Structure 1
Amino acid sequence: MLSFLYVIFILSVVAQLFYFYIFSKFTFSKQEVTNIQRLKFSVIICARNEADNLKLHLEKVLTQRYLDFEVIVVNDASSDTTSALLEEYQIRFRHLKIIEIKASEDYSGNKKNAITKGVEAAKYEYLLFTDADCEPASTHWISEMASQFSDRKKIVLGYGAYKKISNSFLNKIIRYETLITAVQYFSYTKMDMPYMGVGRNLAYKKSLFTEVNGLESHANIKSGDDDLFINEVANQKNTTICFTKQSFTISEPNTTFKSWFNQKRRHTTTANYYKPIHKALLGVYYISQLSFWLLTIILLAYALIGQLEIWIVILLMLLRLLIQYIIIGKAAEKLNEKDLIPWFPILDIYLVFIQFIIFIRNLKGKPNAW
């Protein structure tokens, strides 16, 4: 039994090193500018009862230093003061377009429907998406994302960061999980295997949306307006990434563990609809990560009672941690998450076991609140 556990531990270390090699494709990449033309953009934001967030963030979208763009806010059956607020902004900003979706007995809000309405209303070919609780990290957000389009590249995946909250462990967990997710989808894109993007910072051509009938293929799934769409249409030729700090968006993070936990449950459920190759790669990564930490604890316990040479376990553990610090640490610097680096082992252990709990919970029943 001990020999079996030891072999599995070695295999998990090897698997983790293989994935860190994949992640290095992003870590050691350089951002290239492929387009210096002034493309015309429609920025689309879907909002449902987001008056407070729009008041905080919308003006930073409307005042981007970019020549040709419109901002479309789809008011998705809001019952707060969103409508009145948008009308006030429209007086000041003529390039703001408001799409009103009225609530009814049969309709109380649907983000995929709202996105479709926004795309239909867009007068420009290039679409840029973010959320009502997000703001651009700079006034050059549009121009930075626009710079990555070319004749071949029809999709640009950006980074959606979360606002930093001092002395909050939950905030560190949220940002670490976001960092790891971004490293994965950026790296697979660099490996010509794009599989997802985040709606907080995502751009693609309107014609691409039209070619596949928009979100129709997964309209029955409540989530996935961003990652399932990208999983369907992205390929090795048409997708690229943008990771300059000026291209980031910054979102308001959850402030309670329960709300974040439920959000992660929803995201995990959506991943079940990815293409088989993507599910396999993500699944093996998680299994190897869970096995590494679980078996590290078990084998160290055996070593302490003299049934195993402790230096072998420690050496393999330190090797894996060293590679993690090099690969993920460098990526954290690129994505302006450098303050997380000292916390890597703690965050890694905590996150992997939280993900295991989420997996067990979702086996018992899928979340139905979106």
Structure 2
Amino acid sequence: MGFLDFIFYTFIVVVFFQAVFYIFFFGRFAFLKEKGNSSKNIAISVIVCAKNEAENLKTFLPSIIDQDYPNFEIVLINDASNDNTLKVMKRFEKQHQNIKIVDVKSIEAFWGNKKYALTLGIKASTHDYLLFTDADCKPLSKNWIKEMTSYFDNEKTVVLGYGGYSKIKKSFLNKLIRFETLITAVYYFSFAKIGMPYMGVGRNLAYTKKEFFNANGFINHIKVRSGDDDLFINQVANNKNTSICFSKESFTESIPKQTFKEWFKQKRRHVSTAIHYKKQHKILLALIYSLQLLFWLLSIILLVSTYKWLIVCSLFLFRIILQYIILGASSKKLEEKDLLALLPFLEIFLIITQLTIFINNLISKPNYWK
């Protein structure tokens, strides 16, 4: 068997397994019909951890305060900020009786560790149900709390939501950030639907206080600087206790990074937590990424060499069309349809970026959440 023969047959295997993932894994979310749940009006604590977020709190906290929900408190955690974050919190606290402030002082053992601050906030919260978001994040409707809490029941104690990023016109970086966010959401929603939940995002995530304390909080990964959201969900979520919420009124929206350097630094921190996932999740995620990388590498080699070009072109187009169908349906659900026009370019750029991040993380480890 010659070199190009080997490349060709490997390409066929890669396309086959990618088709399996797209149809039987990601298709579970793409073609899932939204199930309307009735509002339960359970008392809930909204947790917002902020470090040097004075301006963002001024802008986005009113969208939480104005939620159309009968019984909720807002727990604002000031994580040793050195700006006016605490003053802004106190100003809102004077105006609204349902706001509680937890002022976290920096101590050497937990310096720069968001999990320590979150733990103090969770302990100070009044209610048994917890809903998390970030200080630079806003709910896109007044029914955010109502939608997220409607997925709790006697069995479901974890609710995974979607946290997107605001759109910036004529910005390729913005599209790349939103594309990566879309792909991540498709992954964790799809895996949750097949009974293998592995992560959630702290911009829009809910779970019970009982779930938190039964797991001894973040103690199993307290020394890992990041991962207060995905590592905790990776630890506690299972096929029985996890729901997904993707109704448009449940979405939150955050401010995206403005430069590639800032975003790259943020993604390095996020990616560094993946090595702490459960083994089966790491294997599947590594396989999905490897198949993506191999698809483009082998495609380029075979198309440039024109080796069995008719079969190669047919398989190439089949995979691209399948991806457009699955991600098209998913992007429609998550209000990200404008990304489809640049889909192949965004995918290639993201694959290269992720490979670069992986190499950088092998050389040095990112440490702090802020």
- Partner of residue 12 from structure 2, selected from 10, 19, 30: 10
In 2, the alpha carbon distance for the partners of 1:107 and 1:133 equals 23
Deviation track 1:314-369 (CA, whole Å, cap 9, x = no partner) reads: 11110000000100111001000011011111111111111111122222222234
Relative to 1, partners in 2 of residues 1:186 and 1:104: Cα closer, same or farther, differing over 3 Å?
closer
**Which residue, 44, 49, 54 being the options, matches 1:51?**
54
In the TM superposition, residue 36 of structure 1 has moved relative to its aligned partner by: 3.0
- Alignment-derived partner of residue 326 in structure 1: 325
Matched to 1:72, the amino acid is: V
1:369–1:128 CA distance, 2 compared to 1 (3 A): closer
> In structure 2, the residue corresponding to 1:124 is in which secondary structure?
coil
- Look up the match of 2:102: 99
Q: Are the counterparts in 1 of residues 113 and 368 from structure 2 also a CA contact under 8 Å?
A: no
CA distance in 1, matches of 2:115, 2:129: 19
Cα–Cα, structure 1 residues 50 and 63, in superposed 2: closer, same or farther, change >3 Å?
same
Question: Size of the alignment, in residue pairs?
Answer: 366
Structure 1 counterpart of 2:363: 364
Q: Aligned to 2:161, which of 158, 161, 166?
A: 158
Q: Deviations over 1:137-162 (max 9, x none)?
A: 11000000011111110000000000
Secondary structure (helix, strand or coil) at the match of 2:272 reads: helix
- The runs of 5 or more residues in structure 1 that have no matched partner are none
Q: Is the 8 A contact 2:80 2:104 kept in 1?
A: yes
> When the two structures are superposed, what TM-score results if normalisation uses the length of structure 1?
0.97
Displacement, 1:42?
0.1
Q: Secondary structure at the match of 1:164?
A: coil
TM-score, normalised via structure 2 length: 0.97
What's the CA shift for 1:212? Answer: 1.0
Aligned match of 1:257 in 236, 257, 260?
260
Q: Distance in 2 between matches of 1:279 and 1:366?
A: 18
The alignment-based identity, stated in percent, is: 51
105 and 202 in structure 1: CA distance in 2 versus 1, 3 angstrom threshold: closer
Query: What SS does structure 2 have at the residue aligned with 1:73?
Result: strand
Runs of 5+ consecutive residues of structure 2 not aligned to the other structure? none
Amino acid at match of 2:58: K
For the aligned residue pairs, the C-alpha RMSD in angstroms reads 1.2
Q: Against the structure 1 CA distance between its residues 35 and 248, is the aligned structure 2 distance closer, same or farther, given a 3 Å change threshold?
A: same
The amino acid that maps onto 1:256 is: T
Once residues 315 and 153 of structure 1 are traced to their aligned partners in structure 2, the CA distance between those partners, rounded to angstroms, is 44
Aligned equivalents of 1:10, 1:361: Cα separation in 2? 31
AA partner of residue 233 (structure 2): I
Residue of structure 1 equivalent to 2:315: 316
Deviations 1:5-24 (A, max 9, x none): 11111111112111112101
| Counterpart mapping for 1:185-196 below 5 A | 185-196=188-199
Structure 1 residues 104, 231: closer, same or farther in 2, change over 3 A?
closer
Shift of 1:269: 1.2
- Answer yes or no: is the 8 Å Cα contact 2:110–2:116 preserved in 1: no
1:115 pairs with one of 100, 106, 118: 118
Q: What's 1:350 paired with?
A: 349
SS of the residue 1:36 aligns to: coil
Displacement after TM superposition at 1:311 (Å): 1.4
- Please list the CA deviations of residues 15-60 of structure 1 after superposition, one character each: whole Å capped at 9, or x if unmatched: 2111112101001112223453210010000001100110110111
SS in 2 for 1:8: helix
Q: Does 1:24 align with 2:27?
A: yes
